[in-house]
Structure 1
Amino acid sequence: MSSPVRVPYSHELYAMSRHIVFRAEKEHKAAVECKGKHDWPEDCKPESEALVRATNKLYKEIMEKAPTEFKEYAQCLDWYGLRFARCRDKQAAFEAAFPIVEPKK
């Protein structure tokens, strides 16, 4: 039995951001569209919860398939104040190990 995966920290969410947009496209789009139509966050609770579930599932998958590359990229972003430009080499290594778009099977 594998150990439980914790909820991602903010710098890890930044590292996952491109993956979230593409790999959780349906949930991401629904949450963004809802928030564009409503001013009250409670109105978009179902869409936001679906996006959180999809993000947590993606995080678990990342930690199973490319934990080292991901941790190095996320830690770089944390160290450099979330400046992507400072971490392009780590980003490239992570995206090589865990592509943004799932490979065709």
Structure 2
Amino acid sequence: MARLPYSHELYALARHIVFRCEKEHKASIECKRSHDWPEDCKPESEALIRATNKLYKEALDTAPEQFKEFAECLDQNGLRFARCRDKQKAFEAAYPIVDSQK
């Protein structure tokens, strides 16, 4: 099993998470909007975590170098996307945001 992603790696996957894990992401957001207590949304949050971890592994398998370079750029630049657009473009070319198989 792959290790859990670091924060800069999650930032690198952020757009992918929103689009590729759309169902889980929306369910988690909607639940949090209607509940004040985090435990009330545990099933939705766990589903999003599982989907995100799967996406992380898929990114590592599909575009390992591009993902690593983009994530490291974000880490070195205080998570500022503007400073890493070239790395982001290369990563998204190798691992498109929209899954063509869906």
Please indicate, yes or no, whether the TM-score normalized by the shorter chain is above 0.5. yes
User: SS state of the match for residue 36, structure 2?
Assistant: coil
**Corresponding residue for 2:11?**
14
Aligned-residue RMSD, C-alpha: 1.0
- Measured at CA, do residues 23 and 85 of structure 1 come closer, stay the same or move farther in structure 2, by a change above 3 Å? same
CA distance in 1, matches of 2:56, 2:101: 20
CA distance in 2, matches of 1:49, 1:102: 22
| 1:51 lines up with 2:48 in the alignment | yes
Q: Name the count of aligned residue pairs.
A: 102
Displacement of 1:104:
4.5
CA distance in 2, matches of 1:59, 1:104: 17
**Which residues of structure 1 form unaligned runs of 5+?**
none
User: SS state of the match for residue 88, structure 1?
Assistant: helix
User: SS state of the match for residue 78, structure 2?
Assistant: coil
**Corresponding residue for 2:93?**
96
User: SS state of the match for residue 15, structure 1?
Assistant: helix
Q: Which runs of structure 1 show a deviation greater than 3 angstroms over 4 or more consecutive aligned residues?
A: none
Deviation by residue 1:40-94 (Cα, 9 ceiling, x = unmatched): 1101000000000000000010110001000000000000000000000000000
| 1:32 lines up with 2:29 in the alignment | yes
Displacement of 1:39:
1.2
User: SS state of the match for residue 9, structure 2?
Assistant: helix
User: SS state of the match for residue 97, structure 2?
Assistant: coil
Q: Which amino acid aligns with 1:73?
A: F
Q: Which amino acid aligns with 1:13?
A: L
CA distance in 2, matches of 1:40, 1:69: 38
**Which residues of structure 2 form unaligned runs of 5+?**
none
CA distance in 1, matches of 2:60, 2:44: 24
